[in-house]
A and B are shown apart, each in its own frame.
Chain A
Amino acid sequence: MSLSKRGLSLLGWLAGLALWFFCSATTSAQSCEASAELSEIAPGVFVRPGRHGMVFETPEIANVGFVIGERCVAVIDTGGSYAEGESLRCAMRNLTTLPVCFVINTHAHPDHILGNLAFKSAQTSFIGHSKLPRAMALRGDVYLARAASSDQGRLTPEHIVAPDRTVENTLELDLGNRTLRVEAHPSAHTDHDLSVVDIETGTLWLGDLVFMRHIPVLDGSLNGWLAVLAKLTAQPAQRVVPGHGPVRAAWPVAADDTVRYLTLLRDETRLWLANGGDLLGAQTQVGYREAPRWLLFDRHHKRNVTAAVNEIEWE
């Protein structure tokens, strides 16, 4: 009885293993049919431009890319699906044969992390904020459910590759004669945002700490986000890569729109609550002056107001 049970479970295990081998063999042998278009925004710094859209509705939403050193490559965000990660990897392979030693995830949103698996290898270390593993764990189920009801490709728990190295304050990564400085921030766009500076070219990758054209999405702390931007905009950079918007922008003016939106959201929410207004009313009254200035305003603004009320009523 116990023998047959054990035999069965062994059989299942072997079948799983065989399936795994099969899958990894097919994926790694996949030819590069589709490779992403890239912009070289500074020497050795490449960005695949995002197109504005909603996660699990349209592909290639965020700006993602990589930095090539003399020894190896660091990928900064991997896109919204395995296929996106794969096409980014293929585009990279047209430029360099150096190994990918780091994949840096700026935060856990699906359009930034779901291509991770395409870069998984023994040589590659995945880097994230110290709160990224928890964020991935908490959100994973929702991503799987959302993907299951979308036509944006299959998603399994294996696609959500957690970091093997986390950052609490700062971390320097050596790519061979080229250093990336990774900084972990307190709660802002999310509670686990990272920014990355390529010291050689003065290029600052902001993840979703800055939005341009695409309305900012508040999933962390409104006050915290404004504080982080105040700190970052006080530091110089030759150019920045916003999470959404152009692949390259001037600093600190690139932050102007995000700061203006968040400030208005904070001030009008405070006023609304101080005058005895409730959440339902806030959703239809707060911040609408910003509507013509942003893409996807109708899809995110009310959610932002809800998050703002939830935070500011406890100030």
Chain B
Amino acid sequence: MGIMTNRGLLATSDTPDKARLYRWLLGALLALPGIAVAGAAEDAVWLGGLKASYFGDRPIVESDEIIQLEAPDRAQFAAIVPISVRSKIPQTAERYIKTITFIIDMNPAPLAGRFHFMQANGSADLSMRVRINAYGWVRAIAETNDGKLYMSKRFVKGSGGCSAPAGADIEAAMTRLGRIKLKTRGVARLGEPVLTQLMISHPNLTGLQMDQLTRLYMPAHFVKQVDVSFNGKPIIAAETDISISENPNFQFYFVPERAGVLRVDVIDSKGLRFANTLAVEPAVALN
């Protein structure tokens, strides 16, 4: 259970039992009638330590003006919940979104991922799929190049996403471990942001799926680092964690300034490395 350590406030204790106890206590607290309102949940978890542990005492502006998080009110399938961020400003030299951090308050490892964007993205829009372990807030915090922080958040009802398997055959998933699909959506045009989909076949085991009989956890095994580059120039660098669903699936933009090779490099928590490339030949707009 090394996975549980040093991963945010709710999971910093040295034994899984302790961490589980804290989550239970917190869950019990939030379940008290009359207290289970959004505001209380926010105070208890976010202001009670999550914010400080990830952002210290830096001010965070709560606003949908820079980025807007989109997430369902209720998770249809807590192990695979589609969420996305729409950016409200273009990526220009003067002003751009540098990093978006995703925090899922009630997950055992609340930090779902940190995504570093470049000007070359054109747009910092991002879609992905996450696990939701308990009713609570999902937060996207954007850091702009001037160092300011802006947060957009949504309350999502869902439970069991981290401890339940998605249901698919684990053997089937393991036989294609590390296969990567990379494709652009629609016609790639020179100098214009093109929507790109990255799919990584990986079970992304959380390490929180427990055997009731032996009281042992299935070891965690998840995608930790994703780097996307175009002609050697970085497009997106991401540190990801167990809150990302099995078969991590990301959609983002980049601007091809000429023809070239889009490359993705993935490292998982066991140090396994996977890569794939895609030749991109943008069409030239003639009018």
> A interface vs B, CB < 8 Å?
133, 136-142, 145-146, 149, 157, 160, 162, 187, 190-191, 218-221, 224, 276, 278-280, 283, 302-303, 305-307, 310-311, 313-314
Closest A-chain residue to B76, C-beta based? A302
Could you list 15 A-B pairs, sorted by A, with CB under 8 Å?
A: A136-B212, A137-B209, A141-B212, A142-B160, A145-B163, A146-B159, A149-B31, A187-B168, A187-B169, A221-B169, A303-B77, A306-B76, A306-B77, A310-B168, A314-B176
Task: Choose among B159, B167, B185, B201 the residue that contacts A219 (Cβ–Cβ < 8 A).
Answer: B167
Q: Is the CB of A280 within 8 A of B168?
A: no
Interfacial chain A residues near B213, Cβ < 8 Å:
133, 137, 157, 162
With A137-B211, A142-B163 given, name 20 new contacts (CB 8 A): A139-B164, A141-B212, A142-B164, A160-B212, A187-B168, A190-B167, A191-B167, A191-B168, A221-B169, A276-B186, A278-B127, A279-B249, A302-B76, A306-B76, A307-B166, A310-B80, A311-B168, A313-B247, A314-B179, A314-B201
A280→B84 CA distance, assembly (Å): 10
Whether, in the assembled complex, B251 has its beta carbon less than 8 Å from a beta carbon of chain A, the answer is: yes
Interfacial chain B residues near A162, Cβ < 8 Å:
213
Decide yes or no: A220 and B167 within 8 Å by CB, A137-B210, A140-B210, A314-B201 being known contacts: yes
Decide yes or no: A279 and B185 within 8 Å by CB, A310-B168, A314-B201 being known contacts: no
Among A141, A278, A305, A311, the one with the most B-chain Cβ atoms within 10 Å of its Cβ is: A141
Whether, in the assembled complex, B285 has its beta carbon less than 8 Å from a beta carbon of chain A, the answer is: no
> B interface vs A, CB < 8 Å?
31, 76-77, 80, 82, 84, 127, 129, 159-160, 163-170, 172, 176, 179, 185-186, 199, 201, 209-214, 218, 246-247, 249, 251
A302→B179 CA distance, assembly (Å): 26
Q: Is the CB of A310 within 8 A of B166?
A: yes
Q: Is the CB of B165 within 8 A of A138?
A: yes
Interfacial chain B residues near A137, Cβ < 8 Å:
209-214
How far apart are A285's CB and chain B's nearest CB, in angstroms? 13
Closest A-chain residue to B216, C-beta based? A137
Q: Is the CB of A140 within 8 A of B160?
A: no
How far apart are A14's CB and chain B's nearest CB, in angstroms? 21
How far apart are A150's CB and chain B's nearest CB, in angstroms? 12
Closest A-chain residue to B81, C-beta based? A306
Q: Is the CB of A138 within 8 A of B209?
A: yes
A305→B72 CA distance, assembly (Å): 15
How far apart are A193's CB and chain B's nearest CB, in angstroms? 12
Q: Is the CB of B168 within 8 A of A221?
A: yes
A276→B194 CA distance, assembly (Å): 13
Q: Is the CB of A220 within 8 A of B169?
A: yes
A276→B76 CA distance, assembly (Å): 21
Closest B-chain residue to A276, C-beta based? B185
Q: Is the CB of A307 within 8 A of B167?
A: yes
Interfacial chain A residues near B129, Cβ < 8 Å:
279
Closest B-chain residue to A133, C-beta based? B213
Interfacial chain A residues near B165, Cβ < 8 Å:
138-139
Task: Choose among A139, A140, A146, A220 the residue that contacts B168 (Cβ–Cβ < 8 A).
Answer: A220
Closest 3 CB pairs of A and B: A140-B212, A302-B76, A137-B211
How far apart are A134's CB and chain B's nearest CB, in angstroms? 8
Q: Is the CB of A187 within 8 A of B172?
A: yes
How far apart are B141's CB and chain A's nearest CB, in angstroms? 22
Interfacial chain B residues near A305, Cβ < 8 Å:
76
A307→B245 CA distance, assembly (Å): 12
Among A191, A220, A306, A313, the one with the most B-chain Cβ atoms within 10 Å of its Cβ is: A306
Q: Is the CB of B247 within 8 A of A310?
A: yes
Q: Is the CB of B164 within 8 A of A138?
A: yes
Q: Is the CB of A146 within 8 A of B160?
A: yes
A162→B165 CA distance, assembly (Å): 18
Closest A-chain residue to B80, C-beta based? A306
Interfacial chain B residues near A220, Cβ < 8 Å:
167-169
A218→B185 CA distance, assembly (Å): 28
How far apart are A303's CB and chain B's nearest CB, in angstroms? 4
A302→B84 CA distance, assembly (Å): 18
Closest B-chain residue to A313, C-beta based? B199
Interfacial chain A residues near B186, Cβ < 8 Å:
276
A305→B212 CA distance, assembly (Å): 30
Interfacial chain B residues near A191, Cβ < 8 Å:
167-170
How far apart are B179's CB and chain A's nearest CB, in angstroms? 8
A149→B76 CA distance, assembly (Å): 18
A269→B246 CA distance, assembly (Å): 19
Interfacial chain A residues near B185, Cβ < 8 Å:
276
Interfacial chain A residues near B251, Cβ < 8 Å:
278
Interfacial chain A residues near B218, Cβ < 8 Å:
138
Interfacial chain A residues near B170, Cβ < 8 Å:
191
Closest A-chain residue to B185, C-beta based? A276
How far apart are A58's CB and chain B's nearest CB, in angstroms? 18
Closest B-chain residue to A136, C-beta based? B212
How far apart are B216's CB and chain A's nearest CB, in angstroms? 9
A313→B199 CA distance, assembly (Å): 9
How far apart are B68's CB and chain A's nearest CB, in angstroms? 14
Interfacial chain A residues near B163, Cβ < 8 Å:
141-142, 145
Closest A-chain residue to B71, C-beta based? A280
